Structure 1
Amino acid sequence: MTNADTHQLLTDLLESWKATIGSDFQGYSNHCHRMVTFCLALRHCTDEERQKVAIAACYHDIGLWTARTMDYLPPSVPPAMECLKARGLQHWAEEVSLLITEHHKLRPYTDTRYPLVEAFRQADLVDFSLGLVKFGLSRNYVREVKAQYPNAGFHKMLVRTALSWFVRHPFNPAPMMKW
């Protein structure tokens, strides 16, 4: 499976969520593609890992739209599990669940059984930080990826959603974050 195949799988998976995500679709799609690109640059992945990354990327934040909450990690897992089941890949459930639930972990993920989880976490942080955190990726590389997959309002949507959440939940401002 090539990088292009990985991105095509992600594109195909995301397509079924276009109506649910609505006007945020292009921003989320590009975020997912940037994440996948960064993850594949941070870790030499097997074909199986590339598929896991594409599937997890599609679903990692989907609870923002399906559950309309900033506490979106738990509701992001069931659609990913349905995808795995439909593809006969239920044996990946634990790892794909961890890719989703641990991607906002503040400290490194250290379970050596699942090294892909840490690369996925780092890839999300590279994108979320707008490239301020790079984990060894070059500034030029990050810039090229951002140019290939423009932000399209993704970070503005995150700020808008977070502010709306904070007003209603001031004592739980970032429920998706983990220590």
Structure 2
Amino acid sequence: MDIAGIRREVDRRLEPWSEQLGADRPGYTNHCLRVLTLCDRLAAPHGFVATDREEFLTAGAFHDIGVWSANTFDYLEPSAALATAWLTDNGRADLIDLVARMVDQHHKLRPAATPDDPVEIFRRADAIDVEFGILGRFGVPRSTYRELSRDLPDAGFHRRLLRLGAKRIRTNPLSPLPMLKW
């Protein structure tokens, strides 16, 4: 799927949360698009296009939405719940377990599955974007990530995450990053 098609699918899923996303909508949307584009790159050696599959489009759009929909930095569960509702409402309940794992494991610090598993592909793609392609690129060239970032600018997304993280540290110093998993 081309980037315009991916954007339409992400926008369709995010529309009900436009008000909650507010000024963060462009940054979050571009993060989702970067992650999904990276999923395509990581899935290609395994013989499929991630963005042609509902599980990737849904996990991509909803994976962090709980930050805004539930107003929390402990957002994995509310994000998975919204993805589950979307899948149910759109006749894809067969994907609920997989998408819930994709959302729940996307901040796992160690591999979540084999490299060809959707859960691991999604985890790696999100890690590349969250880390600006610096720490681990899983075979994605630095130039590819730079080009992707140029075409889909950050629009304050990472800065917003840093502010939310700092607030979480002040209010919950014993649980500063609840989304991280070993």
TM-score, length-scaled by structure 1? 0.92
CA–CA distance in 2 between the matches of 1:67 and 1:16?
13
In the other structure, the counterpart of 1:42 is 42
Q: Percent identity?
A: 36
CA–CA distance in 2 between the matches of 1:175 and 1:94?
21
In the other structure, the counterpart of 2:25 is 25
Deviation, 1:38, is: 0.4
Q: How does 1:74-93 map to 2 (within 5 A)?
A: 74-93=77-96
Identify the range of structure 1 (2-11 vs 156-165) with the bigger mean alpha-carbon deviation: 2-11
Which structure 2 residue ranges, 5 or more long, are not aligned? none
In the other structure, the counterpart of 1:66 is 69
Question: Which of structure 1's runs of 4+ aligned residues deviate more than 6 A?
Answer: none
Counterpart residue type for residue 140 of structure 1: S
Q: 1:49–1:96: structure 2 CA closer, same or farther, 3 Å change rule?
A: farther
Deviation, 1:15, is: 2.6
Verify the 8 A CA contact 2:27 2:157 in the aligned structure 1.
Answer: yes
Counterpart residue type for residue 2 of structure 2: N
Give the number of aligned pairs.
177
In the other structure, the counterpart of 1:125 is 127
Q: Deviations over 1:7-64 (max 9, x none)?
A: 4212221233211111111110000000000011011335786321111111100110
Q: Deviations over 1:133-166 (max 9, x none)?
A: 2111011111111011100000000000000111
In the other structure, the counterpart of 1:109 is 112
Verify the 8 A CA contact 1:6 1:51 in the aligned structure 2.
Answer: no
Superposed CA RMSD in Å reads 1.7
